[in-house]
Amino acid sequence: MFYTPSLRSLAGIALTLIANASFANTSDAQGPVVQSKEFRYDQPYQAAAAETSAPLELSSTNVSASQSESLLQGLSVEQKQQHRETKFNGTSKQFASTSFVTTSDFWIYDSWLSLDLDLDYDGYYSKFTLEFDADTVYADAPVYAVIYLGTNDYYESIHVTSEFYIYGEDSSDSFVIASELIRGFPPRDYDVLIELYDAYSEQLVATADYYTDADLSYVSLESENYESVYEETVVIVEEHGGSTAWYSLIALIGVVAFKRFGRSA
């Protein structure tokens, strides 16, 4: 004797298939993607416009580091930002406490990190906010920062900030970066590295990471493509004895199965 499931049972199967058909894609084949927004004084930050000069060639192998720095001073804010992003985006490095390059003229006084969004409630967040307060012995100085994420002292850059000014030891001039990890970061406890550069000389002048600030250590993160999110869909099936209802439900299950396995193909 064969068991014949009722239409109500098959409707439950259909609901299960639909609910499980929307797992996030975990492919990182195209490389890491991060979207970041900058804030200062509780407002979105935009670097002040500078006088625009003619584009200068910085990629020549005949241009020394010091000459490159001099050439940068003739560029607009937008051109300098583009050059810095080209230089740092996608870079990685091994880093250790003995590798710190700092000067007595600049330092990162403190940093704060908040975890903002965990779509699947697994304890790993795809959005976070980093705030840091950099100080200097000068009355004011133009700087920019490069932000890295890493594990086991191996770091990958995720954001090059705009150029901004710091003012002596002012505690109200902190800089804020809100980042959304789109792709390329499996669920792990990451460390954060901040590098501060003098925007005039283009030299690294201060750093901060988990060796100097516990807020930058063991940050539970994952990119959005590792968030396993269910989309709940309600299907109401009225049970009738006619064969048309059976054919309709079978067709519904077939469509759901096709969508599910088509996505994973």
Q: Within this chain, do residues 17 and 45 fall inside the same structural domain, yes or no? A: no
Contact by Cβ (8 Å): 98, 207: no
Q: Within this chain, do residues 194 and 257 fall inside the same structural domain, yes or no? A: no
Please name the helix (run of DSSP H) or strand (run of DSSP E) that holds residue 17, with its range, or none. Answer: helix 7-19
Q: Is residue 28 part of a domain?
A: no
Q: Within this chain, do residues 214 and 257 fall inside the same structural domain, yes or no? A: no
* Structure-token match 């003012």, residue found: 167
Q: Is residue 130 part of a domain?
A: yes
Q: Within this chain, do residues 104 and 207 fall inside the same structural domain, yes or no? A: yes
Per DSSP, the three-state class of 75 is coil
CB contact set of 215 (below 8 Å; sequence gap of 6+): 111, 112, 113
Residue ranges in the chain whose pLDDT is less than 50? 2-3, 10, 13-24, 26, 50-65, 98, 260-265
Q: Is residue 2 part of a domain?
A: no
Q: Within this chain, do residues 98 and 118 fall inside the same structural domain, yes or no? A: yes
pLDDT given at position 48: 73
Q: Within this chain, do residues 245 and 208 fall inside the same structural domain, yes or no? A: no
pLDDT given at position 47: 82
Q: Is residue 231 part of a domain?
A: no
Q: Within this chain, do residues 19 and 119 fall inside the same structural domain, yes or no? A: no
Q: Is residue 17 part of a domain?
A: yes
pLDDT given at position 118: 97
Per DSSP, the three-state class of 70 is helix
Q: Within this chain, do residues 72 and 198 fall inside the same structural domain, yes or no? A: yes
Q: Which domain range does residue 111 map to?
A: 33-226
pLDDT given at position 62: 43
Q: Is residue 39 part of a domain?
A: yes
Q: How many domains does the chain have?
A: 2
The 3 state secondary structure assigned to 104-135 is: CCEEEEEEEEEEEECCCCCCCECEEEEEEEEE
Q: Is residue 1 part of a domain?
A: no
Q: Within this chain, do residues 83 and 206 fall inside the same structural domain, yes or no? A: yes
Q: Estimate the crossing angle of helix 243-264 against helix 7-19, to 10 degrees.
A: 20
pLDDT given at position 103: 78
In whole angstroms, what separates CA 164 from the centre of its chain?
21
Q: Within this chain, do residues 180 and 216 fall inside the same structural domain, yes or no? A: yes
Q: Is residue 232 part of a domain?
A: no
